[in-house]
């Protein structure tokens, strides 16, 4: 048929809007959005016809296409996933999964007005920090505490408050990059401090610090290099000794712990990480740490330590720009409260539960799921139960892996195996709840340490819209 004839057959916006399908769409998305989507669908049809292609011209089909566009656009961008990467605290997957009590507290804070900066005893204006001060001091042994947006902000705020236009002394072995654009020297510059590097990459001694301390020194800064290790001929000055050196010159010692655990992880068979309470007891005047790393809460940055220094931090105008919202404050309070009962922490705190989960339990789960996954993916792949080595992630305990178990999914055909593997990974990501694994030794590996919802995982596998198995046996449509 001639292009002109086809063009004349394209329905008008009004004709499309009169269809039943358009009625359904208006009910769901409102008239404004539907009219725009119908226009867009008609534009696409016109372009198709002009270029000689075949397009469905019936008004009802145009309405269906508009509805599909709106459905697609309405899908939230924030999508849950199954984190089967083997990295428990995966920064790109949102780090810690929160405890149920924390979730409930956050929901309650969202739904109602809360006494955020309001003293219910006096009826007068209160202080946001008073909500968490008691718990934080109790759990860390510090005199005072404050909470802001994240630990990167905590470091920035502490440096800016105590060492603006002054020297901040740091060991060359601790000038770390945490990721993205967060490099200690850059943060120091932005905080307005003069960075004074002491020691060398592998060795820094007490005398290096002592010689660098002057009247211009604002603080001595110690960074827990939790995301890397130097081995061999190394020396660092323990925080306890550093505190004595700094205090000898009347200068505060700040210890950025990064992950900052509140309990001794050795209890759960993991390597000992310095706890916040230890850092405080070792004489740090301020300690900074994250909320969503080992602590297992929402994103947050904690600063605990000397009362007079926290008071100075609270007067810094930057504090207001970095402050914490009521939703996360509620979740943090509930998370911290769990630490009062360490015996039941493993049951209640998902991060710790994942870290402490026994390998035998994970292996049994892998054994149950292997045939289910194999049946779903077809003959083109081999699914086997394999040993895995989970990591904690987010720069915590980088050396330590935890024995785990999972599934290795391997394309059977050797030709094009790399591409087959990529499309398999893509197919699993395209499931209603994306399944994220990692590729190792020519297989897609799903470490099952963080999989708690077994039934949900199986149902998700069955509900795949774009077939995982293409029926002709290669399993990789
Ligand atoms: C992770 C980390 C930070 C930054 O913490 P965020 O919570 O990601 O802002 C700062 N210092 C150290 C040592 C860290 O490991």
Give the start-to-end residue ranges of the domains of the chain.
3-74, 81-90+354-468, 100-348
pLDDT class of 230 with cuts at 50, 70, 90? confident
Share of the chain above pLDDT 70, in %: 96
pLDDT at 40 over 70: yes
Q: Which atom of ligand 1 is nearest to the CA of 396?
A: 15
Ligand 1 lined by 34 (C-beta under 6 Å): no
Give yes or no on whether 81-90+354-468 and 100-348 have one common fold.
no
Let me know if domain 100-348 sits in CATH 3.40.640.10: yes
Average pLDDT over residues 354-369: 97
Residue 400: what are its φ and ψ, rounded to 5°? -90, 130
Amino acid 196: pLDDT: 95
pLDDT class of 468 with cuts at 50, 70, 90? low
Cβ atoms of 197 and 172 within 8 Å: the answer is: yes
pLDDT single digits (tens) 141-167: 999 999 999 999 999 999 999 999 999
Q: Whose CA is nearest to atom 5 of ligand 1?
A: 151
Q: Whose CA is nearest to atom 14 of ligand 1?
A: 258
Q: Which atom of ligand 1 is nearest to the CA of 149?
A: 9
Q: Give 349 Cα–ligand 1 centroid separation in angstroms.
A: 21
pLDDT class of 472 with cuts at 50, 70, 90? very low
Q: Give 290 Cα–ligand 1 centroid separation in angstroms.
A: 6
Ligand 1 lined by 265 (C-beta under 6 Å): no
Average pLDDT over residues 159-182: 90
394 vs 156, higher pLDDT: 156
Amino acid 467: pLDDT: 54
Q: Give 91 Cα–ligand 1 centroid separation in angstroms.
A: 11
pLDDT single digits (tens) 41-64: 999 999 999 998 888 889 999 999
285 vs 236, higher pLDDT: 285
Amino acid 271: pLDDT: 86
Q: Which residues contact 329 (CB under 8 A, 6 or more apart)?
A: 109, 116, 128, 131, 132, 147
Q: Which two tokens stand for residue 192?
A: 């307005």
Pick from 221, 332, 335, 350: which is nearest to 279 by CA? 221
Ligand 1 lined by 274 (C-beta under 6 Å): no
Average pLDDT over residues 240-257: 97
Q: Give 423 Cα–ligand 1 centroid separation in angstroms.
A: 35
Q: Which CATH class is domain 81-90+354-468?
A: alpha beta
Amino acid 154: pLDDT: 97
Pick from 30, 34, 32: which is nearest to 17 by CA? 34
Average pLDDT over residues 455-465: 87
pLDDT at 471 over 80: no
Amino acid 126: pLDDT: 94
Q: Give 152 Cα–ligand 1 centroid separation in angstroms.
A: 5
Q: Alpha helix (H) ranges present in 121-252?
A: 130-140, 151-163, 184-190, 206-212, 239-248
Cβ atoms of 200 and 172 within 8 Å: the answer is: yes
Amino acid 476: pLDDT: 43
Ligand 1 lined by 222 (C-beta under 6 Å): no
pLDDT at 79 over 80: yes
Amino acid 474: pLDDT: 42
Amino acid 473: pLDDT: 38
pLDDT class of 465 with cuts at 50, 70, 90? low
Q: To test ligand 1's pocket by mutation, which of 96, 186, 258 has the most ligand atoms within 8 angstroms of CB?
A: 258
Q: Which atom of ligand 1 is nearest to the CA of 300?
A: 7
Q: Give 276 Cα–ligand 1 centroid separation in angstroms.
A: 14
Q: Give 223 Cα–ligand 1 centroid separation in angstroms.
A: 10
Residue 44's SS3 state is helix
Amino acid 477: pLDDT: 37
Of the listed ranges 170-179, 257-266, 369-378, the one predicted with least confidence = 170-179
């Amino acid at each position: 048929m001639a292009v002109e004839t086809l063009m004349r057959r394209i329905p008008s916006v009004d004709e499309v809007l009169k269809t039943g399908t358009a009625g359904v769409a208006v009910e769901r998305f409102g008239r404004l959005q539907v009219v725009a989507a119908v226009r867009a669908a008609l534009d696409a049809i016109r372009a198709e016809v002009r270029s000689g292609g075949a397009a469905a011209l019936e008004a009802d089909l145009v309405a269906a296409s508009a509805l599909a566009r709106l459905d697609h656009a309405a899908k939230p961008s924030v999508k849950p996933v199954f984190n089967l990467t083997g990295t428990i605290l995966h920064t790109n997957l949102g780090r810690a999964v929160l405890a149920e009590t924390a979730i409930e507290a956050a929901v309650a804070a969202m739904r109602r007005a809360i006494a955020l900066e309001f003293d219910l005893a006096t009826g007068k204006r209160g202080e946001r920090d008073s909500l968490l001060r008691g718990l934080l001091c109790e759990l860390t042994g510090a005199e005072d505490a404050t909470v802001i947006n994240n630990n990167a902000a905590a470091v920035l705020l502490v440096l800016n408050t105590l060492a603006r236009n002054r020297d901040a002394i740091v060991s060359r072995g601790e000038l770390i990059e945490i990721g993205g654009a967060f490099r200690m020297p850059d943060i120091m510059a932005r905080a307005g401090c003069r960075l004074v590097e002491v020691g060398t990459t592998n060795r820094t001694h007490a005398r290096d610090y002592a010689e660098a301390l002057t009247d211009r020194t604002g603080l001595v800064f110690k960074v827990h290099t939790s995301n890397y290790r130097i081995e061999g001929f190394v020396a660092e000055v323990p925080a306890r000794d550093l505190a004595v050196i700094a205090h000898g010159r009347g200068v505060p010692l700040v210890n950025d712990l990064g992950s900052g655990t509140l309990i001794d992880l050795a209890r759960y068979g993991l390597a000992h990480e310095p706890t916040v309470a230890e850092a405080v007891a070792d004489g740090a005047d301020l300690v900074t740490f994250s909320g969503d790393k080992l602590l297992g809460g929402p994103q947050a940055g904690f600063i605990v330590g000397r009362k007079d220094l926290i008071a100075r931090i609270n007067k810094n105008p930057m504090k207001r720009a970095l402050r914490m919202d009521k939703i996360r404050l509620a979740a943090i309070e509930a998370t911290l409260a769990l630490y009062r009962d360490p015996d039941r922490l493993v049951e209640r705190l998902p991060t710790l539960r994942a870290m402490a989960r026994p390998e035998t339990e994970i292996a049994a789960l892998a054994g149950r799921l292997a045939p289910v996954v194999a049946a779903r993916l077809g003959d083109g792949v081999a699914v086997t139960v394999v040993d895995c080595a989970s990591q904690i992630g987010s720069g915590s305990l980088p050396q330590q892996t935890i024995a785990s178990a999972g599934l290795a999914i391997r394309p059977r055909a050797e030709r094009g195996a790399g591409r087959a593997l990529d499309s398999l990974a893509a197919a699993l990501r395209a499931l209603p709840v994306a399944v994220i694994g990692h590729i190792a030794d020519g297989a897609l590996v799903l470490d099952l340490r963080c999989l708690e919802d077994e039934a949900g995982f199986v149902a998700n596998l069955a509900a795949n819209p774009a077939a995982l198995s293409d029926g002709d046996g290669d399993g990789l449509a």
